Every structure is written in structure tokens, then in C-alpha cells.
Structure 1
């Protein structure tokens, strides 16, 4: 692999492009991983596109499904920023990425990830309003509020990711240009900087706390209040379904926030790039593929919209629902606690 740099001021060199190493010590795994992640990518994109189409059903024009549609759009972009490039690198000997291309990949990765963090908090607030203030729900979560929460999520993601990207790419890269990673991300890039990065690590810690810990705390507080409200429900079956679906939501949120915090909050001296690679694959690949299942495919309203989308007659829907209810345990909906 070619090292590309420009000579400046004597023997000092400046990196003009990077090399994404991927799995330099396990090249025999690259072809199997190509097919595995190709399937993951196709399933994730098609699943989230299907969710977008389903939630455009007139019966699902509610704040909950509006946020779900926005989330699916973010997931498509999030996985598309990294996985296609990974697939090419798995089969290609030329794994170089330009300086500008690396910066762009990092910006969009951070932008979509941070926006999703804020959007998940908005979704938790929507559930809080639906369960704890049902009589005023339509006043609290009107169209203007939903749009405002989405715009704030996107604006916050844009500003904070721009700050992070500028900070990283103003560091001097005057040594190796080989990134021991699958894509351009903050931890592997700052390891290539030929300067003290302790101040930047402090700034990274601060912004990560703002982007991850603050929304996560808001989600936890929302669910504490939600669970306390659920406990006051008279129906035991309703409480069981609500607890089941809310716990599934919290598992996905914990997986997403936990993996990103482990990558960005650990000190540089305690960070292992090999472990970060595994965590990065989790939050960039596995979480997007789980979201359609966890958030919607087990939801009765979404199932009905799915049948209508493909033009299945109502009689067939009724028969299918009857057989499913009679022969199989009824899977709880994530948002059944709001119904």
C-alpha cells in the first residue's frame, strides 16, 4: 500500500490521504465478512424503507409513527455512510480514502449518530406524554412540536458533528497514514496525530457526555415516570404488555448508547482499537437492523398497515389475525403501553 504525503519544511510531511486497514491480521475473514455485511446492509435498508412506507399509512399519522419514520431515515443514512465502503475494502487491495473523503465520512457518521441520540430522547418524551398525560397528549405533541423536536435533533447533530470534525482535522497528521479501523472515526484518527491530544480528549469527553449521557438520562427519567404510571394500571395484562415492550425499548437504547459511550468516553490510555472495532460494528450495523423489529414489526397497527400496503383483503387479515391469536402467543407491541 502506498503512503501518500507532501513534503513541507524540510523533513516534515503532511498526510493527504489515509489507508483503512480493516482486519490486517485476519485477511482470511474478509470474504466471509463481505457476504455477511452485504446481507445485513440489504436487510437493514429494505427493512427501514418498508417502515417508512408503512408509517405513511393514513391510520398511522400520529407523532409516534412520525418519529419512527424519521428514525428509519436516519438509520438508512447511518449504515450507508460506513458499510458500502467497508464492503469495497473487503474485496479491494486499494483501501485509500482521500483526506476530504475521510473528513466527510466522519462528519456524516457523527451527524446521523448524534441526531439519532436526540431523536430517541424525543421519542421517549412522546411516550411520556401519551401515557402520563393522555387527555392533553394531542395538545402537547401537536405537529409543530413534533417538527420542532426533529429540527432541533438534526440541528444539534449538525453543529456538534461539525465541531468534532473540525477539531480532528485541524490536528497535524505527520506520521503514518494507516488507520487501523473499518472507517474514519475519532479514536483511530487521533492516534495518528503527532501532537499532544489531551486537550482534545477532554473536549471529546465533554461533547460525548452532552450527546450521549444527557439524552440517555432524559430517556431513563421518562421511563421511570412511565413505569410508575403503569404500576397504577388496573389491568394486569396491560401492565405485563407495557413492561415487556418498554424493556425491549430500553435494551435497544442501552445497546446504542452503551457501545458509543464505551468508544468515545474511555481515556486514550485505556482504549483498545481491537475492542473498539467490535463495538463500532455493533452500533453501526446491528442496531440499525434491530430497530425495525423492535420498534414496529411487533406492533399490531404496523402489521395492519403492512397488510394494507400490499393490498391484502380485510378478510384475509382477519383470518390471519385470528389464527395468529389462536395458535401463537400474542407478541406485545412496543407502544402498547400508550394504547
Structure 2
């Protein structure tokens, strides 16, 4: 398998609003990922299920990866995703929403957040505010944690998983909309770690054992208004899950909840472990907040992607090598 990622990052951001912009419609920042006017809706309603929370091209992390993020003090980078279902037999009611469930337990993924950043992918001359992975450098369009422990297995296996499942890759979607060759060679080996069906339970697909504890959480998730306590609740359940079962470990839940809340509320004195990010982990939460504030206060002029130096790198985010260094 060979891919051309230079100047693309189509799998790391929500590029669909670019099509809206090209058609003369407004490109929103925080809510752009919810647009229903773009034909490319491969992550939207499927078999009566509509995702609640998370972002386009959602990367599901494993239980062990969630624990790694909690240990390194980067819980702010994570967000849950639930699904609203049409068929009541497939879910349970939580706070007025009928969400997908297994054995009466609401199920969810945990993945990476995508705050708005000014980016110019696909050879565009002018940057645009787009929901962009928290770890993507908007200047180089490279991942800041590509060679670090926190780099998700799912990101490393893309697009092999899609090819193995005979599904369209993001490379091909980008090619169809913007031209250029992205998927250069579709030959691939059988990918490892492709968790499907029962194998995903407790390892990547997490079951919340107490639906009543999610009262209000699902509604706030749908409105993009999650509180630190909401995020901590979901991350703690994920960290406490046991692969292949419905069981959760009370000690791991307590640890996960306290650890997540410490970092999400900025009270974590130990959030300087650089083993996973290569730099000070404390940059993640403040950078996300700053990006949202910048977008909310922005006028029609979109700033240069280079402002990421002040928003991210000056706070301790790892720098990226640039494409010339890889040639």
C-alpha cells in the first residue's frame, strides 16, 4: 500500500465544508461537521443509526489507548460518540434520546476531538476554518504525535482497514472531489487489530453499565456542550472496561474518573509526562479552548495556519518535520 499524504490530511479533518464554500454557502466553524447538505455522508445515518458527538472521520481508540491518554494527562484530546437509533429494540432511552445499546447498556466509542483550525489542504491558496484533529499541525498538515506512543493504531492502519473491508477510502473520496492521486497503491496485507463484532466489545466499543448516570450527558453531547464531568464519566468507563465482556473494574473506573477530571479541570500537577507526546502534555486542553475562542471571535478574514505556533507550539506541542525532511 502506498499513499500520497502531502498537502492532504483528508482523513484528519472535515473537508466537506469546502464544498459548501465553493458553492457559495457559508462555512461554519464549530458546527461544520454537522452539515447535512453534502452528498458525502458515509458516517451519517446507517441502518437507522445517527452518530451523536464526535466528528467526521471519527477514529475509535482502544481501551489501552484511552488509559495511555489518561496517564499522560491528555484527556482533553478525547471525546465520546454515542448513536441515536430509530428502532427502539436496538437501544435504550437516555435523557430523551434513544441510543444504541447492547444488553440494555448504552454503547459508545472514544476518539480524538477536532477543534476548528485555519487550514489550506488540497493545494488551496487560502486557508479556511475546518474541524481539524487536535494533533494535526495546520501549517504542515502533519501529525504531531505520528511516532509517539499516543498515535492511535487505527490511524496507523488507515487506509488498510478500509481496503480489507472493501470500503471506499478517504484517499479516494478526496481524489473524486479535488483531483490529484492520493491512493497510489491499493495492495495490502491482512491488517492486524481489526476489531469487529464481539471482539470490539470492551476493547473499542464500550458499554456503560449505568444508563441513569448518562442522564443529561447524551443531550449535552448532541448540543456539543459536554462538561469536564461528562467527559470524565465516559473516559472512566472506557478505561475500566474488560475486552470481550460487559464487565468494568471499579478501581480502574475510580482512577480513570479522577485522572480525567484532574486534567480536564486543569488541576493535574502530574500532567507533565512527556513519554507519550514528546513534549509537555498540558498544551492540549488550552490549545483546544484557544482554537474555539479564535474561531468565535474571527471576522471574515481567516488567519494564517502559522498562528498554530502561538496556540500550540509555544504551549509545548511537538513540532512536525515538514515534508522536505521526509524526501
TM superposition score normalised by structure 2: 0.24
Q: Larger % of strand: which?
A: 2
Larger Rg: 1
TM-score, length-scaled by structure 1: 0.24
